[in-house]
């Protein structure tokens, strides 16, 4: 763990943490003045004994919360071996998740717990600094692989598990990451499958990667994720798990499913980390001009590298949800655009959702109506009228009128192609008298007398109801 004020180091071969506090801090707002050697900063070094099995070499992971007052240290829970019978000793020695306090220039162990299953990842929530989020490899009663998404709460110096969500998998998870909202969890599995679990709607998506997903990271915008294999291959997916092709910058346009480092440079060791260059926990604003187009790649024992994504003029260098959807529309990949729109939250990103829905509907309403395009128009409008998550009243009030105009355009598009039945059902949903009269007159013109009569009756019913209610 590295901050402006201190460094915390863990060791693989003994149960200690090293706490290095800088008595001279790097507080200058001028970035150039902050590029100093750490040795130039006055430091105070101390060591803290921690729990854990003695005499074993293991990787101890560290994470710190956004307030920088709490730290966790965690490690593998496997291969415990035999323990002497002693309830107190057993609980202490078998713990694999420690909570430490960091205040007044010192580090101290506050609490400890043993995770129920083998932890794959543990980190503090960027939204709730008193919560720890873990992903643990579990199995079902039928011995099927699962992943447990757990929430641990830190209250008065104690850490305890508060909630567990069990996610069924086809194979054992080997990597994971969360998006910046912490609503979506991505799991890479041993069978090369990639699983995306959305907590709010409790929906699970599945895709098959072209590689073994040993590492995975979400873009700060939440629009795309990158998975990588230990052999140095990368593959991109959007947030609906549709694969996105990639290529190195070149004269010829020849995108491929994966980018293989071995084709371009000598990488004798395994890829162990990929990470976007962005402040941790930074929430992208729709109006933000921040560009996150640098991806750090780290190989075991070197080298380090950075991939610079050239995102083009049309997207203004951005790699957000709106930009991805506009690119899909540009290449007439409408189903992929709708899939991304379906993952977006109208309550928290209403303006972005409306921009995307408008772009999709405008594109489709210019095309000849086919069964496929009809279904796509229904699906795109359905993200507002039949959302997977309930809309807040303020969201409905803000976007009801502008979206109803697209519903009306869809209605007249259906009438133009004499899709009377679907147009009638849409008119029922909209509940407007003039739409039923449009059906009535067109049905009369086409000799559909029964339909014309039903539409006229429905229009009169709406008239009578409006008189009764005074609307």
Hey, CA dihedral for 1, 213, 124, 93, is it positive or negative?
A: negative
Q: And the tokens for 339?
A: 């899939």
Q: How many CB atoms lie within 10 A of CB 356?
A: 25
State residue 448's pLDDT score: 83
Task: State the pairing for strand pair 6-10/203-208.
Answer: unpaired
Cα–Cα distance measured from residue 250 to residue 376, given in angstroms and rounded to the nearest whole number:
35
Task: State the pairing for strand pair 184-189/193-198.
Answer: antiparallel
Question: Which among 150, 200, 203, 196 is positioned nearest to 177, based on CA atoms?
Answer: 196
State residue 97's pLDDT score: 95
Cα–Cα distance measured from residue 136 to residue 303, given in angstroms and rounded to the nearest whole number:
30
Q: Which CATH superfamily is domain 188-319 in?
A: YVTN repeat-like/Quinoprotein amine dehydrogenase (2.130.10.10)
State residue 51's pLDDT score: 85
State residue 42's pLDDT score: 77
Q: How many CA atoms lie within 13 A of 75 on its CB side?
A: 22
String of b and e for 384-413 (b: at least 16 CB within 10 Å)? beebeeebeeebeebbeeebbebbbebbeb
The pTM assigned to this predicted structure is 0.88
Q: How many CB atoms lie within 10 A of CB 6?
A: 19
Cα–Cα distance measured from residue 186 to residue 413, given in angstroms and rounded to the nearest whole number:
39
Listed as ranges, residues in the chain with pLDDT below 50 are: 79-83, 85-88
pLDDT (tens digit per residue) in 379-389:
999 999 999 88
Helix and strand totals (H; E) in the chain: 9, 23
Question: Which among 230, 200, 203, 197 is positioned nearest to 214, based on CA atoms?
Answer: 230
Residue with tokens 């187009």: 293
């Amino acid at each position: 763990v590295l901050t402006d004020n201190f460094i915390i180091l863990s060791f693989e071969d003994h149960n200690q943490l090293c706490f290095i506090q800088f008595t001279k801090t790097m507080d200058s707002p001028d970035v150039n003045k902050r590029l100093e050697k750490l040795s130039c900063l006055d430091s105070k070094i101390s060591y803290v004994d921690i729990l854990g099995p003695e005499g074993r070499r293991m990787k101890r992971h560290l994470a710190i919360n956004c307030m920088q007052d709490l730290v966790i240290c965690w490690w593998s829970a496997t291969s415990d071996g035999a323990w002497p019978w002693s309830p107190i000793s057993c609980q202490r020695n078998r713990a694999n998740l420690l909570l430490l306090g960091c205040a007044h220039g010192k580090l101290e162990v506050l609490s400890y717990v043993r995770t129920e299953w083998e932890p794959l990842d543990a980190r503090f929530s960027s939204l709730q600094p008193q919560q720890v989020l873990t992903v643990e490899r579990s199995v079902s009663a039928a011995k099927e692989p699962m992943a447990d998404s757990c929430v641990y709460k830190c209250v008065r110096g104690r850490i305890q598990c508060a909630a567990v969500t069990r996610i069924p998998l086809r194979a054992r998870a080997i990597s994971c990451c969360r998006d910046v909202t912490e609503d979506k969890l991505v799991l890479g599995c041993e069978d090369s499958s990639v699983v995306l679990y959305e907590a709010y709607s409790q929906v699970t998506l599945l895709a098959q990667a072209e590689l073994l997903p040993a590492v995975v990271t979400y873009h700060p915008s939440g629009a795309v994720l990158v998975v990588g294999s230990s052999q140095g291959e990368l593959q991109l997916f959007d947030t609906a798990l549709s694969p996105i092709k990639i290529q190195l910058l070149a004269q010829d346009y020849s995108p491929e499913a994966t980018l293989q480092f071995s084709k371009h440079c000598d990488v004798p060791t395994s890829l162990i980390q990929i990470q976007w260059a962005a402040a941790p926990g930074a929430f992208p604003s729709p109006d933000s001009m921040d560009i996150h187009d640098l991806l750090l790649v780290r190989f075991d024992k070197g080298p380090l590298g950075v991939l610079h994504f050239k995102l083009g003029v049309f997207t203004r260098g951005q790699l957000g949800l709106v930009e991805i959807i506009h690119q899909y529309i540009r290449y007439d990949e409408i189903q992929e655009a709708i899939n991304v729109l379906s993952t977006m939250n109208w309550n928290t990103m209403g303006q972005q959702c409306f921009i995307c829905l408008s772009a999709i509907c405008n594109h489709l309403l210019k095309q000849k109506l086919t069964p496929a395009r009809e279904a796509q128009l229904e699906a795109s409008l359905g993200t507002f009228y039949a959302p997977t998550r309930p809309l807040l009243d303020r969201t409905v009030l803000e976007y009801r009128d502008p979206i109803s105009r697209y519903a009306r355009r869809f209605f007249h598009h259906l009438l133009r192609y004499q899709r009377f039945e679907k147009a009638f059902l849409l008119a029922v949903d909209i509940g407007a008298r003039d739409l039923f009269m449009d059906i009535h007159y067109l049905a009369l013109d086409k000799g559909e007398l029964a339909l014309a009569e039903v539409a006229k009756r429905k229009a009169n019913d709406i008239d009578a109801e409006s008189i009764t209610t005074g609307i």
